[in-house]
Amino acid sequence: MLASLVSTDHPRSRIVAFIVIATLLLLAFAPFLFPGAKAMNVAAKILVFTVLVASFDLLLGYTGIVSFAHTMFFGVGAYGVAIMSIRMGPGWDAIAVGLLAGLAVSGVLALVIGLFSLRVRAIFFAMITLAVAAAFQTLASQLHWLTGGEDGLTFRLPRELRPAFRLFEGQVLGVSIDGRVLSYYLIFFVALASFLMLLRIVNSPFGRVLQAIRENDFRAEAIGYRIVVYRSLSSLIGALFAALAGALYAIWLRYNGPDTTLGFEIMLDILLIVVIGGMGTLYGAFVGSALFLFAQGYLQELMRLVSGSLDAVPVAAALLSPDRWLLWMGVLFVLSVYYFPTGIVGRLRARALARRAAGAARPPGAIR
């Protein structure tokens, strides 16, 4: 009963299921398995981006909406928490009010963009959202009295989430349960609940209508569905979850600025993760975020080790220099698109489906 309440959409591939469960377990015990500051930062960012990318996949992969304004909602959620934490002081009430304010503003902006722009087709709508996102970033950079301008806002968290706080006097499995660890688990459980909610939404009757609109909006409208309403609701839901992800990111960083959550580079990262993981799967948001952010965080260190061991081969050492990590990130992206054109999860699901179809077509008693 609980499984049906959450979602009936399973990974549908043993390999995907193994990757998802293994990654989830690693993230669940990350503070104990990888207690370093960098490892925890990468793990927290994976959780935040899982929610952010999954909310974008709701638009692109399930509804067929190409929007470049998703980082705007991400930034609104982050600014809501940051501004209220400064105006009201460090406390749970400030976080709650900031989160609600961020959700409200994001919802209004999403509905306005949806109602005025979703009748515009394809690339024209994408350009409108890009212009709105760029204007919002410029506005955030100039309203110094409210957003801190280019310097951003640094704020304090409630006492329980500060690094100096200790939940226990001793250690648990060799790790002090301080405010930083509690912040991580706050993000972990909220991100997990958000992902399960999105998974349930896309596998509900509402989600089936969104997929019908993605496949053929004319046919969906002909059979009676008001596609503008459904697209607007999809944009609203995606914006709310993106704002939630922004609030979690601000809580983790204890800072927010225009380049932190509103930069176009973040939008490019979202697109890359969706393509790598697989559009229209949601599990692809989780797998893609883990792979992309792990590579982003540790590819330089790996290249530094390899380059140092190849000093005898100057050409190879130069090619694998840590300064060229972006080049190799690009190579990895091209290879992933070439070998996994439907994304990692999409390709593995297709292989599993092909195996099951071949097994069903095999006559009883046939030699395997």
CATH code of 2-359, in short, is: 1.10.3470
Asked whether residue 4 carries a pLDDT value surpassing 70, the answer given is: no
Sequence-ordered alpha helix ranges (H) in the chain: 2-6, 14-28, 30-33, 37-57, 70-88, 92-117, 122-142, 144-147, 179-202, 205-215, 217-222, 227-253, 258-261, 264-277, 283-308, 314-319, 325-339, 343-361
Q: Against a cut of 0.75, is the pTM above it?
A: yes
Per-residue pLDDT tens over the stretch 296-332: 888 777 877 777 777 676 777 777 777 777 777 778 7
Model confidence pLDDT, tens digit, residues 241-272 = 999 999 999 999 999 999 999 988 899 899 98
Q: Which amino acid, residue 167?
A: L
**What's the mean per-residue pLDDT of the chain?**
86
* Residue 10 reports pLDDT greater than 90: no
Q: Is the pLDDT at 368 greater than 60, yes or no?
A: no
Q: What are phi and psi of 339, to 5 degrees?
A: -90, -20
Indicate whether 124 pLDDT > 90. no
- Residue 330 φ/ψ, nearest 5 degrees: -65, -40
Using DSSP's 3-state secondary structure scheme, residue 172 falls into strand
Percent of the chain scoring above 70 in pLDDT: 92
